[in-house]
Structure 1
Amino acid sequence: MELRVLRYFLAIVREENILRAAEALHVTQPALSRQIAQLEEEVGAKLFIRGSRRITLTDAGALMYRRAEEIVALADKTVGEIADMGTGSVSGTVSIGCGELNAVKALAKLIRIFSEQNPDVHFVFRSATADATKDWIDKGILDFGLLLEPSDYENFAHFRMNIPEPWVAVMRADSPLAAKEYVTADDLAGQKLIFPARKAVLDELERWLGDAYDEKNVISSNDLMNNAAALVEEGLGIAIGVEYPPSLYDPARFRLKKLHPEIVSDSVLVWKKNQPFGLAAARFRDFIVMSFEHNVL
Structure 2
Amino acid sequence: MELRYLRYFVAVARERHFTRAAKALGISQPPLSQQIKRLEDEVGTPLLRRLTRGVELTEAGEAFYEDACKILAMSDAALEKARGIARGLIGSLSIGITSSDAFHPQIFTLIRQFQQQNPAVTVNQVEANMATLMNRLGEGELDLAFVRLPCESSKAFDLKILDREAMVVALHRSHPLAGSEALALEQLSDTPLIMFPQEVAPGLYDRVYGCCERAGIDMHNTLQASQLSSSLSMVAAGGGFALVPQSMASISPPNVTYHALSSPELFTDIAICWRRFERSRTVKRFLAT
* Larger-Rg structure: 2
Offset at 1:187?
A: 1.3
Please tell me whether the aligned partners of residues 196 and 241 of structure 1 are also in contact (alpha carbons under 8 angstroms): no
Please tell me whether the aligned partners of residues 191 and 217 of structure 1 are also in contact (alpha carbons under 8 angstroms): no
Report the residue type matching 2:146 in the other structure.
L
2:140 maps to 1:140? yes
* 2:10 match: none
Secondary structure of 2:247 counterpart: coil
Report the residue type matching 1:176 in the other structure.
P
TM-score of the superposed pair, with normalisation by structure 2: 0.62
Aligned counterparts of 2:210 and 2:169: Cα–Cα separation in 1: 16
* 1:95 match: 94
Residues 216 and 170 of structure 1, relative CA distance in 2, 3 Å threshold: same
Aligned counterparts of 1:145 and 1:182: Cα–Cα separation in 2: 32
**CA offsets 1:78-101 (integer angstroms, 9 cap, x no match):** xxxxx9995433233211112213
Offset at 1:220?
A: 1.0
2:180 maps to 1:177? no
Offset at 1:104?
A: 4.1
Residues 183 and 249 of structure 1, relative CA distance in 2, 3 Å threshold: same
Which deviates more, 83-92 or 94-103? Answer: 83-92
Report the residue type matching 1:266 in the other structure.
D
Aligned counterparts of 2:79 and 2:182: Cα–Cα separation in 1: 52
Cα-Cα RMSD: 2.5
Offset at 1:103?
A: 8.1
Offset at 1:248?
A: 1.9
* 1:166 match: 166
Offset at 1:135?
A: 0.7
* 1:243 match: 246
Offset at 1:270?
A: 0.3
Runs (5+) with no aligned partner, structure 2: 1-77
2:210 maps to 1:215? no
2:282 maps to 1:283? yes
* 2:115 match: 115
Aligned counterparts of 1:150 and 1:84: Cα–Cα separation in 2: 44
* 2:51 match: none
Aligned counterparts of 2:173 and 2:119: Cα–Cα separation in 1: 44
* 1:15 match: none
Secondary structure of 2:160 counterpart: strand
* 2:158 match: 157
Please tell me whether the aligned partners of residues 147 and 272 of structure 2 are also in contact (alpha carbons under 8 angstroms): yes
Aligned counterparts of 2:277 and 2:239: Cα–Cα separation in 1: 46
Offset at 1:116?
A: 2.5
Report the residue type matching 2:133 in the other structure.
T
Please tell me whether the aligned partners of residues 143 and 271 of structure 1 are also in contact (alpha carbons under 8 angstroms): yes
Secondary structure of 1:260 counterpart: strand
Report the residue type matching 1:217 in the other structure.
N
Residues 115 and 203 of structure 1, relative CA distance in 2, 3 Å threshold: closer
Please tell me whether the aligned partners of residues 167 and 266 of structure 2 are also in contact (alpha carbons under 8 angstroms): yes
TM-score of the superposed pair, with normalisation by structure 1: 0.61
Aligned counterparts of 1:88 and 1:263: Cα–Cα separation in 2: 47
Secondary structure of 1:259 counterpart: strand
2:236 maps to 1:233? yes
Pairing of 1:28-107 with structure 2 (within 5 A)? 86-89=81-84, 90-99=89-98, 100-101=100-101, 104-107=104-107
Q: How many residues were matched structurally? A: 201
* 2:260 match: 258
Aligned counterparts of 1:208 and 1:96: Cα–Cα separation in 2: 31
Aligned counterparts of 1:257 and 1:196: Cα–Cα separation in 2: 19
Secondary structure of 2:83 counterpart: coil
Please tell me whether the aligned partners of residues 84 and 92 of structure 1 are also in contact (alpha carbons under 8 angstroms): no
Aligned counterparts of 1:271 and 1:139: Cα–Cα separation in 2: 11
